[in-house]
Amino acid sequence: MGDIVVLVKPALNPDMLRSKPDGTVDIVGIPLKFDDIDANAIEAAKELKKNLGGKIIAVLLLPWGPTAKRSKDLRMVTQEALARGADEAIVIADDTLLPGDQVITANVIAETIKKHVPNASLILVAEASIDQTTGQIGGRIAAKLGYPYISYARSIKAEGDKIVVERDVEDRIEIMEARLPAVVSVTQEINEPRPPTLLQIRRAGKKPQHKLSASDLGITVERKKEPLEYRILTVSRKQIIIEGDTLEEIAEKLIEALEKEGVLSI
Amino acid sequence: MVSSLVVGGTLGEILESLTAASLVGEPIVLAYGQAAAKAEEIASRGVKVFRLNGEHPDLIFKAAKKLFEELKPKVIIGHSTKNNRDALSRLAGLYDLAMATDVVKIEPGDDHIIYERGFLSERAIAREKASYPAIVLINQKVFEPYSAQGQGEIVDIDVGTPDVQIVEIKKKQLSGINLEEAEIIVGVGRGFKKKEDLKLAFELAELLGAQVGASRPIAADYKWLPEDAWIGISGKRVAPKLYIAIGISGAPQHMAGVNNSKIIVAINKDKSAPIFKQADYGVVADLYQFVPVLIKKLKERKEK
Ligand SMILES: Cc1cc2nc3c(=O)[nH]c(=O)nc-3n(C[C@H](O)[C@H](O)[C@H](O)COP(=O)(O)OP(=O)(O)OC[C@H]3O[C@@H](n4cnc5c(N)ncnc54)[C@H](O)[C@@H]3O)c2cc1C
């Protein structure tokens, strides 16, 4: 079989929110990080590689600019993908593709796969990212490549040129069977990613990285949407820490406070 | 002229989506799964219903594609469910359409739609403008159910066979609790060390007349609770008057599901846990020591 492609997103870190004085999000001030569920996708790829063979190719597209300011974060995310188990990385960072959106991302990644990993057996993507959380990239790429798509995988087993997937839907699990090549989105439940070891981190530096631009891929960008405003959602909570000499005292004070709020019906 | 296509798998989803869609213009409906069995009820709102047998995402995709190509709606609207995201992301990919999810507000224009949606794990709101045709997946309970009256036509839609085979369906064991309606919720997280320990939370909940909900790992990964207890961006969105989070760190994906609570209480042994910044009242303590004391004090109060 061919190689396994894993999409890795350098995502805005919602735990490091930055705002401007007018309450809008300071996008450029928020650092990028290796996206959470991409770790599950790489871990799944490592497991499947035992059966499917081939290499694990991480494909990274920088979605937030400017490229000059993001190069360090992008390098860290690429390193992490390689340390976690990707054998090679393809990195696309290009100011003409910024800011990224899902139409651009899907076109760039589908073109990258067609031109640079045409033999891909399986394309793995996270169920959703931590910044946009729209969960649509897998489906878009599957449609562009004309491959079967299975979303929300809780397990993937490879048998010959077939995969069997447990797909999570709200009230049931569907066991699905597809022929390869296919695109699969993975959930957080699919496995428990192991943090990379020191040795893996050191080795990551020696693994091949390929850099691509929009013109290398022959991509011309047509935007279907434009951002108007990104506004911080302010939750104004009281943030009162209840203190006391004993747990009894704290419990009493808490009950009193909740009664005052009128939220206890005891 | 048809200007919007509603896609949904339950009656409730479809009625709320119809209200949103009618802001754009004349809607038609693609009803699959449970909603297909409710086609008459949907048609009695005066809309034409295309009824799809089953709820295989391949078939939902093919049916939506067929209707999109034939009727050229400006907007496709539905709830942000897993099947809708799966099927409609493929349509979005095929035609390079803008697609928004978790949408909480729409303002349709002549050649574009402005919408607001969750961003940065819902710690922010993105306001964006997409050109038609576009796909807009809304959050539940943002729009009232559509109440127009009329007599719509029902047409069965046949799109052949799926590409991927479903070889088995396993129903999840659900508790059937309706967390969305609960007045008080006790939320449990990974601070609990084993399943049996959850009895502390249940005892507290019983005293308070509360339901028990959970962070995603407790319900979906460890399966210590049924999955309809799962609260958050990818689970249930709740709005109780009181939410008591026990052993929950306060990840944005969890808090997205509880931010509409009136009062939030956090019990966590780590004083730097992010949840304390997002709570009204915090108790820095080991849950195994504090919750039994809280239960005792509540009992005393009740007996008085
Ligand atoms: C795309 C995406 C979607 C997601 N969707 C959801 C979702 O819908 N819902 C959701 O909940 N999560 C979701 N998550 C996961 C989320 O990011 C967190 O990983 C999860 O919410 C953490 O659950 P937790 O707070 O129970 O566990 P942890 O983060 O591990 O927190 C456990 C807490 O318990 C405290 N603790 C430990 N022992 C004790 C003790 N003895 N007494 C008191 N406190 C103790 C610790 O200090 C810690 O703060 C999603 C993630 C992603 C990437």
Out of B164, B301, B302, whose CB is closest to A176? B164
Distance from CA of A203 to the nearest CA of B (A): 32
Burial B31-69 (b: 16+ CB within 10 A, else e): bbbebbebbeebbebebbbbbbeebbbbbbbbbbbebbe
**Residue B129 pLDDT:** 98
The architecture of the domain spanning B4-157 is 3-Layer(aba) Sandwich (3.40)
Annotated domain spans of chain B = 4-157, 179-303
**CA dist., res. B304 & res. B302, Å (int):** 5
Q: Cβ distance B18 to B86 under 8 Å?
A: no
**CA dist., res. B214 & res. B201, Å (int):** 10
Q: Cβ distance B103 to A225 under 8 Å?
A: no
Per-residue CA distances from B160 to A167, A179, B19, B54, B58 (Å): 22, 18, 31, 12, 10
* Angle made by CA atoms B19, B22, B27, in degrees to the nearest 5: 110
Under 8 Å CB-to-CB from B172, ≥6 apart: which residues? A171, A172, A173, B226, B227
On the CB side of A230, CA atoms within 13 Å amount to 21
Q: Cβ distance B254 to B248 under 8 Å?
A: yes
Select from A123, A103, A94, A102 the least CA-distant residue to A216: A94
Which residue minimizes the CA distance to atom 45 of ligand 1? Answer: B191
**Residue B303 pLDDT:** 87
Instruction: Quote the ipTM score.
Output: 0.97
**CA dist., res. B67 & res. B45, Å (int):** 20
Q: Which residue has the tokens 């719509």?
A: B152
pLDDT band at B97 (very low <50, low <70, confident <90, very high): very high
Atom of ligand 1 nearest to the CA of A128: 1
**Residue B14 pLDDT:** 98
**CA dist., res. B37 & res. A194, Å (int):** 45
Under 8 Å CB-to-CB from A244, ≥6 apart: which residues? A250, A252, A253
**Residue A221 pLDDT:** 85
**CA dist., res. B4 & res. B108, Å (int):** 11
Amino acid at the residue B284: V
Q: Cβ distance B39 to B154 under 8 Å?
A: yes
**Residue A234 pLDDT:** 83
Dihedral of CA atoms A51, A56, A61, A66 in degrees, nearest 10, equals 140
| Ligand 1 centroid – CA B215 distance (Å) | 6
Burial B164-200 (b: 16+ CB within 10 A, else e): bbbeeeeeeeeeebebeebebbbbbbebbeeeebbeb
Chain A from 177 to 216: CB within 8 A of any B CB:
177-178, 182, 187-189
**Residue A165 pLDDT:** 98
* Residue numbers of chain A with a pLDDT score lower than 70: none
What is the share, in percent, of chain B residues with pLDDT greater than 90?
Answer: 98
- CATH topology for B179-303? Rossmann fold (3.40.50)
Distance from CA of B283 to the nearest CA of A (A): 6
Q: Is A99 on the interface with B (CB under 8 A)?
A: no
On the CB side of B283, CA atoms within 13 Å amount to 30
* Angle made by CA atoms A2, A78, A93, in degrees to the nearest 5: 95
Per-residue CA distances from B136 to B73, B117, B124 (Å): 12, 10, 18
Q: Which residue has the tokens 């200007």?
A: B3
pLDDT tens for A218-252 read: 998 899 999 999 999 987 899 999 999 999 999 99
Confirm or reject: Cβ of B191 under 6 Å from ligand 1: yes
**CA dist., res. A141 & res. A106, Å (int):** 6
Is pLDDT at B1 greater than 80 in this prediction? no
**CA dist., res. B188 & res. B267, Å (int):** 10
- Taking domain A4-217, whether its CATH number is 3.40.50.150 is answered by no
Q: Is A162 on the interface with B (CB under 8 A)?
A: no
Select from A4, A139, A1 the least CA-distant residue to A59: A4
Select from B134, B146, B13 the least CA-distant residue to B78: B13
Burial of B110 (0-12, 13-18, 19+ CB in 10 A): exposed
Both tokens of A262, joined, read 């009128």
In this prediction, residues B217-234 reach a mean pLDDT of 98
Say if the Cβ atoms of A25 and B252 lie within 8 Å. no
**Residue B44 pLDDT:** 98
pLDDT band at B302 (very low <50, low <70, confident <90, very high): confident
3-state secondary structure of B218: helix
Both tokens of A168, joined, read 């999570």
Select from B205, B204, B256, B203 the least CA-distant residue to B231: B256
**Residue B40 pLDDT:** 98
pLDDT tens for B179-218 read: 999 999 999 999 999 999 999 999 999 999 999 999 999 9
* Residue B221: CB atoms within 10 Å: 17
**Residue A235 pLDDT:** 78
Looking only at the bridges linking them, the beta strands covering A172-179 and B165-171 are antiparallel
**Residue A218 pLDDT:** 95
H helices present in B141-286, as ranges: 199-208, 216, 252-255
Rounded mean pLDDT of chain A?
Answer: 97
Round to the nearest angstrom and report the end-to-end CA distance of chain A. 64
| Ligand 1 centroid – CA A215 distance (Å) | 42
Is pLDDT at B120 greater than 90 in this prediction? yes
The answer to whether B4-157 and B179-303 have equal CATH topology is yes
pTM of the full predicted structure? 0.97
**Percent helix, strand and coil across chain B, each to the nearest 5:** 35, 30, 35
What is the share, in percent, of chain B residues with pLDDT greater than 70?
Answer: 100
Q: Is B241 on the interface with A (CB under 8 A)?
A: yes
Q: Is A141 on the interface with B (CB under 8 A)?
A: yes
3-state secondary structure of B172: coil
Under 8 Å CB-to-CB from B213, ≥6 apart: which residues? B179, B182, B185, B186, B187, B188, B229, B230, B231, B236, B238
**CA dist., res. B166 & res. B177, Å (int):** 28
pLDDT tens for B19-33 read: 999 999 999 999 999
3-state secondary structure of A141: helix
